[in-house]
Amino acid sequence: QKEVEQNSGPLSVPEGAIASLNCTYSDRGSQSFFWYRQYSGKSPELIMSIYSNGDKEDGRFTAQLNKASQYVSLLIRDSQPSDSATYLCAVMSGGFKTIFGAGTRLFVKA
């Protein structure tokens, strides 16, 4: 079982719609969770961090965490073509290591 799992996609949504990205992780002791966006050929950039169960909103982005289900999600409201990228879920497990999922490719159609 992979430590951090994501649907590779591609996920295609029309402009203005809500994009929903999901992630599950295997280490029940994980405490820190992150979403990164990576454009083709570029390094990842941080979108959000979440540490507690529930929702965390930042602009058009909402991260959701459910530790009991070992599940993290990212919602992007009012999706824009510029949101088209690969979204990486990352989980910090024991020992300071941050483990990344394979990423979900998102396409926002104009």
Partner 1 sequence: GAVVSQHPSWVICKSGTSVKIECRSLDFQATTMFWYRQFPKQSLMLMATSNEGSKATYEQGVEKDKFLINHASLTLSTLTVTSAHPEDSSFYICSARDPTSLSSYNSPLHFGNGTRLTVT
Annotate the chain with three-state secondary structure: CCCEEECCCCEEEECCCCEEEEEEECCCCCCEEEEEEECCCCCCEEEEEECCCEEEEECCEEEEEECCCCEEEEEECCCCHHHCEEEEEEEECHHHCEEECCCEEEEEEC
Q: Which is nearer to partner 1, 21 or 103 (CB)?
A: 103
The only residue of 10, 12, 31, 52 in contact with partner 1, by rule CB under 8 A = 31
| Residue 90 touches partner 1, criterion: CB under 8 A | yes
Q: Which of residues 40-79 bind partner 1 (CB under 8 A)?
A: 41-46, 49, 51
Q: Which is nearer to partner 1, 68 or 96 (CB)?
A: 96
- In the complex, the smallest distance separating the C-beta of residue 100 from partner 1, rounded to whole angstroms, is 4
Rounded to whole angstroms, the Cα distance separating 17 from 6 reads 21
- In the complex, the smallest distance separating the C-beta of residue 108 from partner 1, rounded to whole angstroms, is 20
CA atoms within 13 A of residue 91's CA, in its CB half-sphere: 27
Number of residues that bind partner 1 (CB under 8 A): 22
Task: Please give the residue ranges that form the binding site for partner 1 (CB under 8 A).
Answer: 31-32, 34, 41-46, 49, 51, 88, 90, 92, 96-103
